[in-house]
Structure 1
């Protein structure tokens, strides 16, 4: 039994050291920002949650943003999802999926939300080009799952995000 315990201890120690070197043990906070880009003067209602945290309901005026921060968990399974609604529209989206987003936005995940879906800021080109469909919709005429849209718009990088009032939860 002793050799098994020794192997198990060595394995756990190895995983711990790898995660430590990767920065996951003393993980820096991830900052998520959601900007209302609906247009037409529409307010955006949103309600974001994780398995453990309910961030509440918020109403964003045009170009206003909601921001929250968290530390990802050790198991690389952190997930935050949001419901968005305005007028007679209602949709949901996984706003942060650690396995999906760790290489895309790292510690600063900024999203614009338009009627067609959310777009993530691509820090390499400083544009909201990483666009997704709503999780509750399939592309028209398709029996397959959603496919990502391409959307090039950098208007929020020209200072517009500073015009809105921030709602920040830490």
Structure 2
């Protein structure tokens, strides 16, 4: 019989004779690989920073927006941004499912609450994701040039008054 060993840990010659030793050897290998995979994925899931800039303007006056961002695990609260002000947050994506952050936006002149997926782990590859919001939706600076040419329209719902009826 040929004597084969894996990195000096497992003697397969003995493992063929003893099924418990074979199972234990496989368990050791799986544990070692799991720790190695954990180290590799830690680098893949490094911190992400999201910047949201208020570019909503109702001519001729600047428009303040109220934004509220959250994920399944985190609620970042409400924030008010004046025209050209920004809100910045950062997080570490969850392993292995990733992270989805969505934000709602309202402003005085709009009868709707507007939503956009501001960060989707399956979609976004950026580590510094910058958005500029406007009346039609949000535009991303996807390549870091400041072009904001990757635009998405709002998902919107009508705001309700205290009687739970539409304000329109």
Q: TM-score, normalised by structure 1?
A: 0.66
Partners of 2:100 and 2:119 within 8 A in 1: yes
The match for 2:138 is 118
The match for 1:15 is 37
Among 16, 30, 52, the residue aligned to 2:48: 30
Q: Matches of 2:145 and 2:115 in 1, distance apart? A: 27
SS of residue in 1 equivalent to 2:31: helix
Q: 1:135/1:5 Cα in 2 relative to 1: closer, same or farther (>3 Å)?
A: farther
Moved over 4 A (4+): none
Query: 1:8-87 to 2 correspondence within 5 Å?
Result: 8-9=30-31, 11-20=33-42, 23-24=43-44, 27=46, 29-40=47-58, 41-86=62-107, 87=110
The match for 2:128 is 108
Matched, 1:128 2:151: no
The match for 2:119 is 96
- Structure 2: give runs of 5+ residues left out of the alignment: 1-22, 158-168
Q: 1:6/1:136 Cα in 2 relative to 1: closer, same or farther (>3 Å)?
A: farther
Bigger CA radius of gyration: 2
Q: How many corresponding residue pairs? A: 130
Q: TM-score, normalised by structure 2?
A: 0.67
Root-mean-square deviation (CA), in Å?
A: 2.2
Partners of 1:24 and 1:74 within 8 A in 2: no
Q: Matches of 1:59 and 1:30 in 2, distance apart? A: 22
Partners of 1:76 and 1:99 within 8 A in 2: no
Partners of 2:49 and 2:129 within 8 A in 1: yes
